[in-house]
Structure 1
Amino acid sequence: MNTARFLKSAGVGAGDEVIMSAYGDTEAAQSVVTVGAQPVFVDIDPSSYCIDPEAIAAALTSRTAGVVVASAFGCPPDLARIGELARAHGLLVVGAGEAEAGPDEVTQRRSHAAFLTGRLTGVRTPEPHEGHTYQRYVVRVPGNGRPDRDAFARALRGRGVACEVPVRAPVHRQPAFRSSLRLPETERAVDETLALPVQGSLRRRELQRMVSSCNALGGLLPTCLAGR
């Protein structure tokens, strides 16, 4: 979806506000600015990483024209509650979609995710959500936030596990949108999360190596890895 085009066609423009998550949605925020409206950043649900419906409700003003909703790493947002808010306040709901995978790939990812969730102890595994396609398998690293997460990631890569930090900075801390707004769950997620590979092509021995590496390293945090 071309978010800017959709917003413009719906009549969203100067003087309007559009509510959105600050967790990794830079392109959507830029689209709001492009049509002359103001992005209003709110916090996420820490279990799904999607926009928090109650944060939407708290941010509503007379200028609110719409809300941007999107799945996060394959986990769907609470569309039922967001839909209630949209109907009650006459809001435009804009979907910022993720790339879709075929059913076989999704089935394999879910199988891999179940394997990891059942065996990982060195990290905090994703909470189960209906409809999750595990586009990315995002865990939280225990310890002292970003320093320990980054050290953990370096150590995992050293053991041959291709992990990634999914969101490097929240949108409201990036130069184009910088503000003093405090979004604790978003900022905590940015500091703690790490995406482990879960693509369907992975073999069981690769998953097992990932489990062994994470579990061994998790026992070292925070005392040893924090100083690396």
Structure 2
Amino acid sequence: MTRAMIPAARPLIGQEERDAVDRVLASGMVAQGPEVAAFEQEFSAQLAGGRECVAVNSGTSGQHLGLLAAGLKPGDEVIVPSFTFAATANAVAVCGAVPVFVDVDPDTFCIDPAAIEAAVTERTVGIQPVHLYGHPAPMDAIVDIAQRHGLWVAEDAAQAHGATWDGAQVGTFGTFGMFSLYPTKNMTSGEGGMVSCDGPEIARQMRLLRNQGMEKQYANEIAGFNNRMTDIHAAIGRVQLTKLPAWTARRQELAAHFDAHLEGVTTPVVREQATHVYHQYTIRIEGASAAERDAFATALREEHQVGCGVYYPTPVHRLPSYGLELDLPVTEMLAREVLSLPVHPSVSDEDRDRIVEAVNTVAKAGA
């Protein structure tokens, strides 16, 4: 009998979310309104240390508008990791600025402070760390570099809802922090993003930029965008926010089991200062070529019906949109070796055990 595929990711949408959408539809107010305002306040209290939060229509919009609100101008340089999703660098590039790609820590996959320090020039205005896979970047070192060089910090917390560094929530260290609410993230609003702001001026600029440059209708103060979140999406997000703590605990429970039982692969490292929220549980097939890692993934899917994903197979600096030749050896190594296993909250104990058995079997076969 063929077993059902365990998906690599699965959004969890229940009756409560459907009821919330119906409530908004029945109200007749579906554009940005009271649900968005309530979502911003609740998100701030639970995940952003009380910082003022601004909801937008996607995580990428949040990063783009946040950079503009921080004052990013054409020709400026922003230091970013190359081992991430392209949106991190794209948000810089669409502002007319220059993403400066640097290497990452091989253990946590997050940006390397030493690489940041080496990349600072007179044109550098900011640092954009990514809390990749749900593990926070080393924010104490990053903030120290920023302060010494007079730079701002823009946190890409797209995958890190609830993660902490030294007890402080991600999204509370920088000029702003962006959280994605895409369907496969740790929580979703269907589509959307949330930006935590370090002061009222950044928040006001965000609100202007998301709404055609106006606070009052037809009183446009600046040139802006239509990047608003709808009340429909916010209603979903508010329900998901109430479920996030239990979902995060399940992700951490699954990760602990994988740590204890996986063999023949390198399991994720968690720094002592970090709370990891496991948007992805990412192993390494150490010493593998990309083809060997891909064969490992194919065996998991086709022989064991275990979904998995490679995040990310091509470093951003080598994508056709950038096409750069850079010496980033850790990034290149990770792009060959990483493989993410299902760790979403709908993974059952039976699924969990199947995943362990599958990985250990494939690893042993390839040893």
For the aligned pair, the TM-score class normalised by the smaller chain equals over 0.9
Q: Hey, what does 2:347 align to over in structure 1? A: 202
Q: Hey, what does 1:16 align to over in structure 2? A: 76
The answer to whether the 8 Å contact 1:113/1:137 transfers is yes
State how far apart, in whole Å, the 2-side matches of 1:217 and 1:160 are.
12
| Residue 184 of structure 1, aligned match among 329, 337, 344 | 329
Q: Hey, what does 1:123 align to over in structure 2? A: 265
Q: Hey, what does 1:104 align to over in structure 2? A: 246
The answer to whether the 8 Å contact 1:142/1:221 transfers is no
Q: Hey, what does 1:33 align to over in structure 2? A: 93
1:163 matches 2:308: yes
The answer to whether the 8 Å contact 2:83/2:315 transfers is yes
* CA shift digits 1:146-199 (9 cap, x unpaired): 111000000001211111112121100001111111211111111100000011
State how far apart, in whole Å, the 2-side matches of 1:143 and 1:61 are.
34
TM-score under structure 1 length normalisation: 0.93
Root mean square deviation, CA, Å: 1.4
Unaligned runs of 5+ residues in structure 1 are 223-228
Deviation at 1:14, TM superposition (A): 2.3
Q: Which amino acid aligns with 2:317?
A: H
State how far apart, in whole Å, the 2-side matches of 1:210 and 1:8 are.
43
Unaligned runs of 5+ residues in structure 2 are 1-58, 162-185, 187-243
Q: Hey, what does 2:295 align to over in structure 1? A: 151
Deviation at 1:42, TM superposition (A): 0.2
| Residue 76 of structure 1, aligned match among 120, 136, 142 | 136
Q: 1:90 to 1:25 in 2, by over 3 A?
A: farther
State how far apart, in whole Å, the 2-side matches of 1:62 and 1:50 are.
24
Q: Which amino acid aligns with 1:148?
A: E
Name the SS for the 2:275 alignment partner: coil
Larger Rg: 2
Deviation at 1:104, TM superposition (A): 0.6
Name the SS for the 1:86 alignment partner: helix
State how far apart, in whole Å, the 1-side matches of 2:263 and 2:69 are.
49
Name the SS for the 1:199 alignment partner: coil
Name the SS for the 1:18 alignment partner: strand
Deviation at 1:144, TM superposition (A): 2.8
Q: Which amino acid aligns with 2:129?
A: V
TM-score under structure 2 length normalisation: 0.58
Q: Which amino acid aligns with 1:184?
A: P
Name the SS for the 1:177 alignment partner: coil
State how far apart, in whole Å, the 1-side matches of 2:322 and 2:90 are.
9
State how far apart, in whole Å, the 2-side matches of 1:30 and 1:216 are.
39
State how many pairs are aligned: 222
Q: Hey, what does 1:113 align to over in structure 2? A: 255
Q: 1:170 to 1:216 in 2, by over 3 A?
A: same
Q: Hey, what does 1:226 align to over in structure 2? A: none
State how far apart, in whole Å, the 1-side matches of 2:313 and 2:134 are.
18
Deviation at 1:143, TM superposition (A): 4.4
